[in-house]
Structure 1
Amino acid sequence: MFGNGAGVRYGLPPLRLPDRAIRMISAFRRLAGTWFAKGLFLLLVLSFGIWGIEDVIRNFGRDNAVARVGGESIELTEAQNAARRETQRLQRQLGPRFEANEGFRQAVARQAVENLIAARAQSQEARRMGVAASVDAVRAYTFAVPAFQGADGRFNPLILQQFLRQNDLSEGDFTRLVVADLERQQLIGAIRAGARAPETMTRQLLAFAGERRAAEVAEFPLLSAPEVPEPTEAQLTRYHENNPAQFSSPEYREVALAMLSAEALLPRVTVTDAEIEAGLEAQRERTGTPERRTVEQALVSSREAADAIRTAWAGGAELAAVKTQAEAAGGTALEMGQVTRGEMPVENIAAAVFALPQGGVTDPIQSPFGWHVMKVTAIQAAAEKPMEELRAETRAFLAREKAADLSYEEANKLEDALAGGATVEEAAQRFGLTAARVTLDRQGNGQDGRPVELPGGPAARAAILEAVFANPAGQGARLAEAANGFVALDVANAIPAALRPFASVEAEVRRAWTLEARRRAQEERAAALLAAAQGGKDFAEAAREAGVEAVRMGPSLRDPQQAPPGGIPAELLPGLFAAKVGEVTMAQTSAGYAVARLAEIIPADVAADAAGLARVKGEVEQSMQDDLEAQFAAALRARGNVTINPAMMEQVAAR
């Protein structure tokens, strides 16, 4: 609303308010000066303030930490990074074919958080006790790690940088881990130092482990069992009925399958010339031979020493002279060999090295491990593939990427179609897929015992079989994820395991009955020998009457894993080491049955076995130290009043 002055300024006619409006405005002015109006205004300000910071008010009082230890929080990002590094480590160990499932992710997440809790509790205890790690200690610790040393036995920073890249760690992260580990070593070292194995216990354990026993052994192998009479049909049918698990067919599933994969969608993908041109550079980096440089490096702890080395190197000094100069300054110098820019994860060092001409030397470059001076002694230019070959590879690569993206889009549509009531066959026809209806067992074999061909090839086979037997019959069609795509499946029928008719397995029943009869015969012969020897008969004579020869074997230790080949059968050792001289024992062995009489007990010569005594003492002390460390960790955890946020833990596992 314009006053008279404004109206004149903008060319508007003078404005005159009615007297009633003027009186109303005056009343409002008087009301604004009252405490009621001021309170109302304050309430409005607070209301708008709360609406404006809705997220803050809504989250007030919530704890976004995954866990708290002694009042310190372990944030979600820290826990997720720890879980990711642990997952990557385990996947490298388990191999590329391993696929992490939900249970695996949850277990890794729990372990990662527990490790962080233990580390946080130990750090708090270190601060409480005034334990710290100096910069020199961190450097010495890092340089002494065997995995970071080159062929010459000296610290190689390139190996360290590769380790950091593989484990998704920055140099700062690594330094903090080293500091925490050094603090932990000081704490735990003091705890473990108090474990001492009692001399009496050590001697008794060595005497127990080193005692040996010799025995006379008579064996009854199944291969030498006497011939058994031909079984009657009644015996065979009864054996067939009494051993259903041995002669039953497995559970089968009748299932309709269709595979949706990126490979199947490749014919539907179009890659334009413009897309190929845009992707050429990336493909050149992926498939070409990148530029490689032969690099020498000196690493020292001070800028002054680095400047002196650069001057000497630039003046023509050889690596041997530079190495002597670096070692005199408390550092090292070495040849790193050929490297690509991508193999040098520290960007500022890589940029400096790959900006040099051949023979060039960098200015000193600082990192958490000291001052680096680099020299380029040779340059191998990048080698590129012919343009037509590069274009073909680019087209194929982009087509695969597009097909993979399309497979996810089509999977959503396929899932909607199945949820809408379409059968697997109908959905397959609609989406241009090949459907199959097969009957198979958990191993993927058909009712004829032969492997059933499944879509997706060997890579998807295990996932498909798991999905087929995890999905109850008659529940309708669904979509499951496989190793290289998605599989639509509908388990129409489950054929339970059933005893196969006798006529179809008669030959198998006959073989099993005969083998069992031979086993029983040898068991009876062995039991008869055992009874005769226990009754006081000479063991060797009783063995000959049973048709076998008693052979002296041993002496053997009580540990079956230390039993020499051809010695006392391992299955007999527990009984022999529980027996007295002259007593007999019997056991079923991998070959049949065996009966043994304990002939001699040879005590361990503890006094003459200094090495064994030291070994046992070390093992006992190691066990005691582990127990003390576990108790110390549990006490720190209890003192830290640890709390874990279950909702945030789910997010750690879901990453």
Structure 2
Amino acid sequence: MLKLFRDNLRHLSWVLWGVILVFILLIFVDVGAFQPKDAEGGPNAPAAWAGDIVVRFSEYESAYRRLESYQRQLFQGNIPDAFQEQLKVQALQDAFDFKLMLAEAKDMGLKISNSELRKSILEIPAFLDENGKFIGEEKYKNLLARSGFRTAQEFENSQREQLLYIKLDSILRDSAFVSDKAVEEAFRNQSERAKIRYVLLPIRQLADSVTIEEADLASYFETHKEEYRLPEQRRIAYLVVDNSVLRAKMEVSPEDIEAYYQAHSEDYQQEEQVRARHILIKTDERTQAEADAELEKARQRIVGGEPFETVARELSEDPGSAASGGDLRYFPRGRMVPQFEEAAFGAKVGELVGPVHTPFGAHLLEVTARRESGLRPLDEVRAQVRHKILTERVSEEGNRLAGELLARLKDAGSTSEEELQSIADESETTKLVVTDPFGQQDTIAGIGRSPEFSSAAFALKPGELSELVKLPRGWAVLTLKEVLEPRIPELSVVQAQVRDAVRIQKQRDLARQKLEQARQSIDAGESFDEVAKGLDLEVKESGELSRGGALPDLGAASGKVIEAALSMEEGAVGGPYEYPQGETLVQVTERQHMDPADFEAQKEATRERLEAQEYQRLRASVLNQRKIDLNVQYASSIVADVAEDDQVR
């Protein structure tokens, strides 16, 4: 095992140097930023845990420092905000993965000997003098103390864990074997190319060419009965307190609106906003100077009296706003790219500004209105305030009435439809509804898809009342009317669906038959174009295709057709192949095979890539197996950083 470990160190030097780097960082870096709250203990207190897997604050910090150092090198000192925000989450993920890998190593019986530990320590430059000799026990312990380790044993335990991780990692890498055959197959797959021409025969074109007899329906249904099996269904009677009736009966006075507005003024604050319109000239296929010249012509037309929106509809290349005269409506700071935002918020209303250069191109813009930050005027939000008051009042009154309704039903002691209707008739806000049979996953008439309603309905026993169930319409109380067991329905019940299925099958069979005849004609000497013309079909041509590519016309069938094309030679015809909307026939027009010389030149690079992929697959398999049912808990001081994302799982 030790020999295997040494043989694989060349693959794992980055891991060892990562350990060394973290050690050096800990000597010079302030560790206060990751200290737990006083109530949570010191650096060795748990930051997060799941079962017997514990990540301590010191380990969490080490993972963070390692990631941060890597990111600073990657981005030359300036880590983008999007990456910076994820560092703590990723650090905790890495720390958990490290602990899970250690658990796997221990379960495999792997250990680190004292000699292996000693050798690794003597490879850390900080512990060597100018002659490459060990600095001595006293200096060694002092250096560890400056690095935050309370004892040498604490550091050596940490180092032993790092080495154990490396030993398991080396085994996984050594297990990531890829055969010569797999290397050649992978290289062939990535290097082979083809171009095709093809025709599409949509089955909808054959709708008038097929006839459906009653015998066809019976035969199809007999063969496909299980496809039409109905799950358990239920009929439910429910009483609902109708919010729309409550809302219609309620009144909101001007005084109510004024009082609510004043009491909730924080809800009606607004940021500074501008409303602007623009003309965009893209610079994808023209120079910036050419785009600026186009905008200058537009400016002169607007200054000369033409409406801005007219010029924008004609010239703007922004597909999202050109049709509306370039109008971008109101927007706050932070929504547009910085160059555009600076120009818009710096402009006066009615002022033409530009050209403004952004990654999208060159813009001529005009600010048409401005909203200052602060409390929005009551007249502007009056309808919103009224709606809010009504919503709160309806919710409060609906809750009260629903509670009374449930109590009344329990006191009545009967769930008969007559009793339910009698109770409903006592109040215009309460309605009785009896559903048609529905399955647990079905959409319910008048309700839609409601997991809460369906769960309550399928938990009921005869004669029982549900607790209150919240529906979009209002609170409801359910009772069970009928249970229909799983069954295969009579053909008459599903005849419409069966007829559709038979029609589609017949149209597809006819399409396939026509293209099979076309292929036979090609085999007999006709050209691809001639048979396409005879079927009144357009011949389409693809670009260069490779495995993993796509043909938009074929959707999910692309892979099958491309694979077939790559198995044929130039000039060969294949098909018909099924695609979602019909059938297709293809002819290969160009073929590029694997070049043996290229393969020999890139064989080892391909092997390394495949071995790296296999290693990642093996490592992920180990981690995923250990993460099954992992219930991660967090110390309160880091909940805001990671718990909401819960990415450790």
TM-score (norm 1): 0.42
Asked which structure has the greater CA Rg, the reply is 1
TM-score (norm 2): 0.42
